[in-house]
A and B are shown apart, each in its own frame.
Chain A
Amino acid sequence: MLQPVEKESAAVTNAELEQYDLSKFEHVPRKKLGRYVAAALIVAALLWLAIAFARGQIEWIYTAKYLFAPVILQGLLNTIALSVLAMLFGVTLGVSVAIMRFSSNPIINWSAMGYIWLFRGLPTLLQLLLWYNLALVFPTIWIPGVAEWRTVDVMTPFVAALLGLGINQGAYTSEVVRAGLLSVDHGQYEAASAIGMTRLRALRRIILPQAMRFIIPPIGNEFIGMVKWTSLASVIQYSELVYAAENIYYVNNRVIELLFVAAFWYLVIVSVLTVAQGRIERYYARGSSRGFQAAARR
């Protein structure tokens, strides 16, 4: 194949060749005009926003004053507690329901699907209100022969919010976990069986740890979502961050100033969670090819 090309090039004169020699020319990089324009526009927009907020009818002094007010800090703690507990509850439920979806028992399989259908289908706020008003359907809660309670005593705003948010979360998480479990190669399960593992042990020791790599990023995303969903609990009088801010501005009428206080603390929580998520992702990436690329870069 090379032969005819060489013959042709031999016919080209030196003068002609020189025309094609590009090494002596200066290289002029392409002008990245669009980049400068975009940067200028964004900076201008940010400046305009900053000035607008500074000049607006917002008494920033109130935001600063209430940032560390005991009521706000208590609300912050309650928000964190509810987020963490509801998420733990949701993930536990989600993993269980995901495993139920793989059951060969059709009743278990269908009840898992029914749970997902129902709680993914209902608005979260509506679910919170339903739990909070459970006493209308079940006036008492009892363990036969052990104890009996009045539902209104048990179903505090905290319990109702925990149940509502956790059960709602479980419906979403179960789908995430199911996708994660499906992403693990079936050969891993066979290898685990071959060394004498039962289904459940294989799931716990081999399949789930590998699925975590796929599960963690969306769960981190949902955790951040959960932090914000907890604000719905203010509707049923659970004293989380928004409820605390509301209670103050009902008195002093500094609505927007106190909403900024809440906004500040939400951003703090979310920033911490984002960093934590990155760490957990790196842990579960061990043994994956991407994990090694990351390790090599460090």
Chain B
Amino acid sequence: MNPIVHAIGAKKSFGTFQALHDINLSIERSEVVCLIGPSGSGKSTLLRCINQLESLSDGALWVNGELLGFRREGNKLYELKDSEIARQRLSTGMVFQRFNLFSHKTALENLTEGPTQILKIPARTAREEALNLLERVGLANKCDAYPVELSGGQQQRVAIARALAMKPAVMLFDEPTSALDPELVGEVLAVMRNLAKTGMTMIVVTHELGFAREVANRVFFMDHGQIVETGTPSQVLVKPTQERTRDFISAVLS
């Protein structure tokens, strides 16, 4: 049983600010894990470290069996080159709070950019797969639209499809619905719910406790750069054992 994401003693500091303290975690294939916690608690930083948009200050992270950022030879760790880190990132797909679709490319081109440029898949195959993915997120009719022509919810669904087009082993979601108008949240969560059903491993930073309760296998509560409490949604969200978790959940629900 190999965990797909594995962290031992992971630490991250920005200058004097310690964003992550000694994170240990292990996430299994096909698990859906929701990271909850107050803002500034380190949830997004943890996600960005798993994607190597940030590098760890100390400790180690493995994704899909690969040590992130270093190559081990004997008892030496060699720092990886930019191109090798780019290759490691292919294991993870990232969905951003602010969508970050390539604004000079249509929805379809956003999906085919990675497969044709990075994975060197023939343009035709990439196009077919991209159309299938857009169909899956309910936007086949928007394939030629530029991001600026799409609503926030539609942009986020395209962004999810763009990440899936790279066939990652793990999908990371960084507050995917926080920048959306309330009436658009549902369509994005529906796409994520369907994705979870296909057995995709997902790590979701979210404030949507309802979604966490329904879809997550496990919920991690983070505060001040630490994972304070983990467990099934019913344990963490309904009967939290920690004071801080209780406070947070009652604050969110009130």
CA distance A209 to B105 in the complex (A): 10
List of B residues within 8 angstroms of A210 by Cβ: 102-104
Q: In the complex, are the beta carbons of A187 and B100 less than 8 A apart?
A: yes
Q: In residues 85-107 of chain B, which contact A (Cβ within 8 Å)?
A: 86-87, 89-90, 92-94, 96, 98, 100-106
Q: Does A198 contact B (CB under 8 A)?
A: yes
Interface size on B, residues (CB 8 A): 32
**Min C-beta distance of B52 to chain A, whole Å:** 8
Proximity bits, A205-237, B CB within 8 Å = 1, else 0:
110011000000000000000000000000000
Q: Does A194 contact B (CB under 8 A)?
A: yes
Q: In the complex, are the beta carbons of B103 and A194 less than 8 A apart?
A: no
CA distance A198 to B92 in the complex (A): 15
- Interface class of chain A by DSSP: helix
CA distance A204 to B86 in the complex (A): 15
Q: In the complex, are the beta carbons of A195 and B53 less than 8 A apart?
A: no
Q: In the complex, are the beta carbons of B146 and A287 less than 8 A apart?
A: yes
Q: Which residue of A lies closest to B159 (CB)?
A: A191
CA distance A191 to B94 in the complex (A): 8
Q: In the complex, are the beta carbons of A198 and B82 less than 8 A apart?
A: yes
List of B residues within 8 angstroms of A59 by Cβ: none
Q: Which residue of A lies closest to B172 (CB)?
A: A194
Q: Does A196 contact B (CB under 8 A)?
A: yes
* Contacts between the two chains (Cβ within 8 Å), count: 79
Q: In the complex, are the beta carbons of A292 and B146 less than 8 A apart?
A: yes
CA distance A205 to B89 in the complex (A): 18
- CB < 8 Å neighbour of A195 from B82, B146, B162: B162
Q: In the complex, are the beta carbons of B103 and A188 less than 8 A apart?
A: yes
List of A residues within 8 angstroms of B67 by Cβ: none
Q: In the complex, are the beta carbons of B148 and A292 less than 8 A apart?
A: yes
Q: Does B147 contact A (CB under 8 A)?
A: yes
List of B residues within 8 angstroms of A292 by Cβ: 146, 148-149
Proximity bits, B143-157, A CB within 8 Å = 1, else 0:
000111100000000
Closest 3 CB pairs of A and B: A195-B114, A191-B100, A194-B94
B residues bordering A, Cβ < 8 Å?
51, 53, 82-83, 86-87, 89-90, 92-94, 96, 98, 100-106, 113-114, 117-118, 146-149, 159, 162-163, 166
- Apart from A190-B96, A191-B159, what 16 extra A-B contacts exist at CB < 8 Å? A188-B102, A190-B100, A194-B92, A194-B96, A195-B89, A195-B113, A195-B118, A195-B162, A196-B89, A196-B118, A197-B86, A198-B82, A201-B117, A201-B118, A287-B148, A292-B146
Q: 8 A-B residue contacts at CB 8 Å?
A: A187-B100, A191-B94, A195-B89, A195-B93, A195-B114, A196-B89, A206-B113, A288-B103
